[in-house]
Amino acid sequence: MRPYDLPLDPSNGLMKTVLAVLWLTTLAFSQSKDEQSLLAIHQHTREAHLKGDAVLLTSDLAFEIMDVGRGHFDKQTRDQVRDHFMAYFQQAKYSSFEDLAPPAIHISPDGRSAWMAVQIKAKITMTEPGKQPENIDFQSAWLSTFEKQNGHWKMTAIAYSVPPGK
């Protein structure tokens, strides 16, 4: 039997198998594309810290995010987070921001939500008014959650560990 002689009846076992393989291939490709998109967000985060760019840092945030760290949690708007980092980057200059391990990513089976766990080491120079500049090496880790909004991944929450003052 030649391929073009196969009946295209959806009840055909071979046709079901071919359709299942195509569906799984499409699903694997879309998750790979989603993983690439999430890794690009992580790269934006790194670049934003190294450049001191609060606008870039917040470009992948949802309108409102849940911020969990330093013993508390609260909701903040993207604008509030941007303003916080604008002030922070006035004092903190990053000379290094490197992954200690590749980010761990999980995408929900329906492809509408995801999380990413990150562990980095960084070097900053803190320059606070009235104080000598301080060079600080530190490690940080965080878990971010994401939702797909209008076809783009947006961070909706972050839980983090950083040493005080970083």
In whole angstroms, how far apart are CA 75 and each of 8, 32, 39, 111?
Answer: 53, 30, 24, 24
The pLDDT, as a whole number, for residue 70 is 83
For residue 31, what is the DSSP state? H
CA dist., res. 4 & res. 112, Å (int): 37
pLDDT at residue number 24: 45
What pLDDT, on a 0 to 100 scale, did the predictor assign at position 63? Answer: 98
Question: Tokens at residue 75, please?
Answer: 């909701």
pLDDT tens digit string along 63-110? 999 999 988 999 999 999 999 999 999 999 999 999 999 999 999 999
What pLDDT score does 154 carry? 98
- pTM of the model as a whole: 0.78
- pLDDT < 50 positions in the chain: 1-6, 19-24, 27-28
